[in-house]
Amino acid sequence: MGRVNHTLVLSTISYTIFTLGCVVLSMELFDSKFEAIVVTLFLSMAFGYIISSHLLFYKQRQDTNLQHLTKEILHELNIPLSTIELNANMLKKRLQDEKMLKRVDRIEASSLRLKRLYKELSYAIKKEIEAIPKEEFGLYELVYARVEEFLEQQRQDFELDIPQEITITADKIGFEKMIDNLISNAMKYSPKDSTIKIYYKDNKLHIQDSGIGMDEVELLKVFERYYQSSSANQGDGIGLAIVKEYCDNNGISIEIVSTKNVGTTIKLYL
């Protein structure tokens, strides 16, 4: 990236000097200002085309190399993950000892988490290189699957009320990440014995908690990167910024209704 910027600066300086030189030379060679302007424009455009072609070629080559490197890294990561998963399944079928089976279960659960992280890493890299295709999926199935994973933390209970016939066409992995961030926030800022409600109403997906809530000042800053409404909770404060970015890129309107010490409701206009 530094080399591209350096080349761009030098090219801009060279182009400026060349254009000024063309202006001076044309004024000396031609009596007509019109002819001088035409020649200057022609030479400047030709030189500009050469410079831009050089820069675009380097950028294209850089993107191609990065894409190849990314695919190789992701491929190498996928091999040990698949090996761990396969061997864990084989051990689970053969072992009889309960303690050993529990250990294998933990290995299997960890491999599933690693597999999901691999999937998210692959998604994040591909998103920077090329457009992610949209696909149609059921809203209930996706949200239910995400809730099932959060239930393993044995913190809050969940209430789901989403019609099974509701389907969405969107970037599915990105949508999952968005839902994960919203559920994680609801859990983080709510009491452990509370219930998080997720329901679909008036073409909106609602995620409602009964946590610490936010006042008007906090609501104004909530989408800012690295902002956290409470310093008592761990995190990096980028969750809602990621959610907002995804919503903006996919034409989803997001609304937050919150009352201090009462709770927060996120509304996604789908």
pLDDT digits (tens, 9 = 90+) for 118-128: 777 777 777 76
What gap in Å lies between CA 229 and CA 47, rounded to an integer? 53
Question: Are 58 and 2 spatial neighbours (Cβ–Cβ below 8 Å)?
Answer: no
Domain termination residue (choose one: 64, 97, 130)? 130
* Domains held by the chain: number: 2
Whether residues 55 and 148 share a domain: the answer is no
Alpha-carbon dihedral 204, 207, 208, 212, rounded to 10 degrees: -130
**Helix, strand, coil: what percent of the chain each, to 5?**
65, 15, 25
Whether residues 77 and 24 share a domain: the answer is yes
What gap in Å lies between CA 133 and CA 156, rounded to an integer? 34
Whether residues 168 and 242 share a domain: the answer is yes
Whether residues 72 and 176 share a domain: the answer is no
Check residue 234 and give its pLDDT: 46
* Of the listed ranges 14-23, 110-119, 177-186, 260-269, the one predicted with least confidence: 14-23
Whether residues 108 and 121 share a domain: the answer is yes
Phi, psi of 176 (to 5 degrees): -60, -45
Is the sign of the CA dihedral 193, 239, 149, 147 positive or negative? positive
Check residue 141 and give its pLDDT: 95
Question: Are 235 and 226 spatial neighbours (Cβ–Cβ below 8 Å)?
Answer: no
Whether residues 174 and 187 share a domain: the answer is yes
**What's the CATH code of the domain at 192?**
3.30.565.10
Whether residues 259 and 208 share a domain: the answer is yes
* Of the listed ranges 30-39, 85-94, 121-130, the one predicted with least confidence: 30-39
Check residue 161 and give its pLDDT: 96
What gap in Å lies between CA 257 and CA 241, rounded to an integer? 17
What gap in Å lies between CA 131 and CA 72, rounded to an integer? 20
What gap in Å lies between CA 227 and CA 218, rounded to an integer? 9
Q: Could you read off the pLDDT of 209-223 as tens digits, one per residue?
A: 999 998 888 888 888
Check residue 236 and give its pLDDT: 43
Average pLDDT of every residue of the chain: 77
Check residue 7 and give its pLDDT: 52
Pairing, β 195-201 against β 157-161: parallel
More confident: 145 or 69: 145
Domain termination residue (choose one: 81, 109, 130)? 130
Whether residues 102 and 160 share a domain: the answer is no
Domain that residue 224 falls in: 135-269
Domain termination residue (choose one: 130, 146, 181)? 130
CB atoms within 10 A of CB 248: 12
